[in-house]
Structure 1
Amino acid sequence: MSGLRSLQVRLALSLAGVMLVAAGIAGTVSYRTAFHEVNELQDDQLRQMSALAERRHLATPLGLQDLDNHVVDVGARIMVQLLHKGAWGEVEGAEVPLPLAADLPDGLQTLEVQGQQRRLFIRTLPGGERVAVSQSTVVRDEVAHNAGKTTIVPIAVLIPVLALAMVALIRHMLAPVMRLAQELDERGDDQLAPLDDSEVPSEVLPFTAAINRLLHRVELALAQQKRFVADAAHELRTPLTAISLQAELLADLNLSEQAQPRLQSLQRGILRARHLVAQLLLLARLQGRDAANRDAVAVGFVCQSVLEDLLPLADQKQVVLTANVDMACSVCSNTMDLGAVLRNLIDNAIRYIQPGGQVDIDIEYRAAALHICVRDNGPGVPEHERELVLSPFYRGAAITGTGSGLGLAIVHNIVQRMAGSIALSASLPDASGLMVRIALPIPATDPSSLATPVLDVLHFQ
């Protein structure tokens, strides 16, 4: 059923139907024309035989006796008879005698003789004798039928050839449309440039123009959204900083025991809000920047810096951090993007894991790509939500951490810009825990040029 929705299939089927009908009509007309012409030719053959008899009579009046009572053409079953004394003679070699009436008129005629249809041509000679040249209509029809079939064979052979040529032609004509569809499928979320319709058929131009207008509207809407997010984050950062300072001043005062827990709760809320604003600003910067100005970046040193920054947060939650990083690894990126990827992955793992948990980081070259793997033994993400958590502000129903819902969205955005891939899965046999695996392309430069001569592998714990 889905195949009938294809314009290419429907066009091919429609043209094939028209072609079959046309071929059927052409074949029928060709067959009937050939059948009729062959019968006409055989009538002429009967006339010629009678004319031959007349010429022989004029040359030798008794020569007709040689033709009488004979099957002149065995293959065509043409018989010649002479009228003697008011009676037709029998034909030697014929299956049955041919009793013909003596008063038959001259000319072509079809008679039933002994239950068999025969085609006759009767001629009266100058001396008064009459000659009859006859042929079985079965033989005549067989010859005409064979001639008609020879005219149909080229049409029957030509039909599949035309069908293949038609399918190839349709594919060639629709190739620009298919290329546009493939181009749209291969585009990233932020690639909203207009489609190139220079090779598109004129019938499809209104459709591509409508798509380009839609892409332009989407681009404007996304630009407005990005500006709103960036402006809102900037506007929120200043009052949050002021509130944070006021909370620190309150913490220095001698507050009552009832006020202390409320102040701590306020400080935690302020920290979450400041973290959210920082994530929003980072996301806005990433969405507003293209993939240019990238270079080979040493992954080991960036990872070491991120781990040092996040170590206080891990100590606060009593989370064990372990890292196994090949210091020779490099990736085509920039320090800010790579740091944001590692920071958000490790920060997410620390925030959502239970106190006393463990986070493992492994970075290595494998299968012509740089592989980054961050896994924890926390509650994990259900399988049906693993694609959703890559969207901004999505937090699973069972999530109890203090995250903002932007960490994995930022990672996903950066990985896409780096032409990499990201996959989420459970890290433990009981389907708990979360393992995030990222594969990034290796830069064209030699990665060994970024390795340190002393330290080959970074072990962090």
Structure 2
Amino acid sequence: MTSIRTRLFAILLLATGAVWFSAAWWIQHSTRVEVEQVLDARLAEAAGMVSSLLSDGRVELSSAAGAMEVLTTRADQGYSRQLSCQIWSLDGTMVGASGSAPEGRLTEADSGFSETLVDGERWRVFTEVNERLGLRVMVGDRLAVRDRLVSDVTRGLLVPALTILPFLAGLIWLSVGRGLAPLSRMARALSARSADNLEPVEEGPLPRELHPMGAALNSLFGRVAAARERERSFSAYAAHELKTPLSGIKTQAQIAAMAPDEETRRHALAQIEKGVARTDRMVRQLLELAAVDGATGGGGGKFDLMEVISGVVSEMRPPADAKGIDLHVDLPESLPVVAGDPVLATLALRNVTENAIAASSMGGVVELCVAVCQDLAEITVSDRGPGISAEDRTRITERFFRGQNAQGGGSGLGLSIAQAAMERIDGTLKFCTRKGGGENVTLTFTLMNAGVR
């Protein structure tokens, strides 16, 4: 890809060239207009002077045209004998002509300015009529001479300018390089950093135009540092949480191996089974958390809410039955299509339902009901457990956090997984104390094509 310096150089050079050539065209145009105006005025003055000399009797008619030789410009550049004069009677007889005049009649026009072709050359002619003497004075010059004069004047202005153009291109190249020097310094400074250096970039020395880039880099460094800290915390918490059940499994396995009787062995094996179940749940939730963290927003997907609820209820029936808990589901006859990722929605609803079952006592009831209101669908999972204390309510969705009223051997990941999954699909997760004891957890989804009328 072309470098910024090359692109800026090309843009500036093209812009300068466009302005340069526009100026050249304007110089040529304006020079031509000015020269033609001056030379036209000269033609008119010369014709008027000859007519005046003839009227005053200062010059004989036979020598009047010859007097035009005095008006001829003599120079080394080929402009000699520029003006030519012819004197004609009004009846069409040539009375006299200057030495540089062509043999043919300069113009057929009766008076004023005209352009004509004489002997293969184009002429610009001014005709002055002297009614008193019955004469027509014609003064003209060749258009080729005018064109050469305009070209010479334009060339004299443009040649020095074109000579300077390469030097200007070099100055543009150097100036662009100097202007981009702060970017190069920033690149070198960032390249010299170690992978662990996430300190903010100092925006003070940067030019004003680079402040947004510096701010964006600092924001990125902050997010990366936060992500690293979360990974460190995640690894530490996960290692700690996995260490406890694994140590228990190891201990119970040793007890089972050395058990003096069958009862002790059975009890140890039962504890091993619980430890394995706890570890299995922990690993599953860690994998779910990783899947949620790596998922993108679910703005483009859609799913059938009825299928998600049916799948979660079928999966949660066995653990609910094991505790004698009645998993009561209150669903309408049909449910709308919901925007989002069905996998993330399933993760959120399953973890909330699993948490409600774990919080409920033996023989309790967990209720799951759905309500559709305007552009939203709400699933409320209710239990009669101890609920969430006021002190824990603000931290209940933190990873590995277990509240004061937490039941069972959970890892503190379920609600954080549900919260993260709902955020990914632009949904919400709300907690509310249930009247009479327990907790209501509401998952809110956006209906597909909500807001389109």
- What is the TM-score of this pair, normalised by structure 2? 0.46
- What is the TM-score of this pair, normalised by structure 1? 0.46
Higher relative contact order (CA 8 A, sep 6+): 1
